[in-house]
């Protein structure tokens, strides 16, 4: 979601810095600026991303600048006009040192007037991307959104703590029951047939049960480098919120 928002803002001419954790667990890596943490650079929907030392980071037009700054230590120095909180914690997030800067919160956990000036709906449905100025987004259901009618079965999870050693790569077609990779010597098995549209980075430090991959039952019709309609609508919602906040 954060990368979808960043693309929408870059396309609108805004300058963006993305603050990441030091061990990103992104699965849809071909559409995530967080890939720059591991590779030094990334490319999302044609927009470049680049990892920069936090103390040297500056806002640059047309670039998704990525810094490792999970505690927002650089926030005061960077002094952004607006903060988009895209941590997607599903519950009330730990407060950031935002000062008087307006916050746009993505999804459940935020309350307008308390944790954020504005909240963007992230639940699939008729309200996806809606700008909320009073109240909260819809609560987290505990179930991932359906893709091709499949929800939990499309996700691959780590059978143990460790690092993923993949057998297949993003974009490969796999069969139900096929071993996609291993974590600490234990197999990661696909529960359905489809296209592997996401895998965590091999350097990502995993906990047992962590999501490590995503299989799309639509197969070859899927482009794993294309952002989802959900990310696009949430990004459009943030752009609309900025207009209403007069940015």
Residue extents of the structural domains in the chain? 2-141+229-244, 152-217
Instruction: Tell me the C-alpha distance between 121 and 129, whole Å.
Output: 5
- pLDDT confidence of residue 79: 95
User: For 33-44, how does the pLDDT look when each residue is reduced to its tens digit (9 = 90+)?
Assistant: 999 999 999 999
Over residues 180-193, the mean pLDDT reads 97
Q: What is the pLDDT of residue 145?
A: 64
Instruction: Check whether 152 has a pLDDT greater than 90.
Output: no
pLDDT at 112 over 90: yes
Structure tokens that stand for 12 in this block: 């609108």
pLDDT at 190: 97
CATH class assigned to 152-217: mainly beta
Give the mean pLDDT of the chain: 94
Least confident of 55-59, 118-122, 146-150, 193-197: 146-150
Tell me the average pLDDT across 142-152.
68
Crossing angle of the two packed helices 229-244 and 2-11, in degrees rounded to 10: 60
pTM score, whole prediction:
0.92
Percent of all residues in the chain with a pLDDT value above 90, rounded to a whole number? 88
What is the pLDDT at residue 150?
67
Write down the residue that tokens 């030091």 correspond to. 22
The tokens describing 5, both together, are 């928002």
């Amino acid at each position: 979601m954060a990368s979808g928002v960043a693309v929408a803002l870059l396309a609108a001419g805004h300058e963006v810095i993305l603050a990441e954790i030091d061990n990103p667990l992104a699965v849809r890596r071909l559409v995530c600026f967080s890939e720059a943490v591991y590779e030094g650079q990334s490319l999302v929907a044609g927009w470049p991303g680049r990892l920069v030392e936090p103390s040297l980071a500056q806002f640059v037009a047309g670039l998704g600048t990525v810094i490792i700054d999970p505690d927002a230590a650089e926030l005061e120095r960077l002094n952004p006009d607006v903060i988009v909180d895209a941590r997607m914690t599903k519950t009330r997030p730990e407060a950031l040192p935002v000062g008087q800067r307006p916050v746009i919160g993505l999804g459940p956990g935020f309350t307008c007037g308390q944790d954020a000036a504005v909240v963007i709906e992230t639940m699939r449905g008729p309200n996806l991307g809606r700008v909320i100025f009073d109240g909260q987004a819809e609560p987290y259901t505990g179930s991932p959104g359906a893709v091709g009618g499949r929800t939990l079965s499309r996700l691959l999870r780590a059978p143990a703590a460790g690092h993923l050693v993949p057998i297949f790569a993003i974009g490969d077609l796999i069969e139900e029951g096929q071993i996609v990779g291993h974590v600490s010597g234990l197999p990661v098995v696909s529960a359905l047939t489809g296209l592997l549209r996401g895998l965590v980075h091999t350097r990502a430090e995993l906990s047992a049960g962590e999501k490590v991959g995503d299989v799309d039952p639509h197969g070859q019709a899927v482009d794993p480098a294309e952002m989802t309609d959900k990310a696009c609508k949430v990004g459009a919602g943030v752009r609309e919120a900025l207009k209403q906040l007069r940015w």
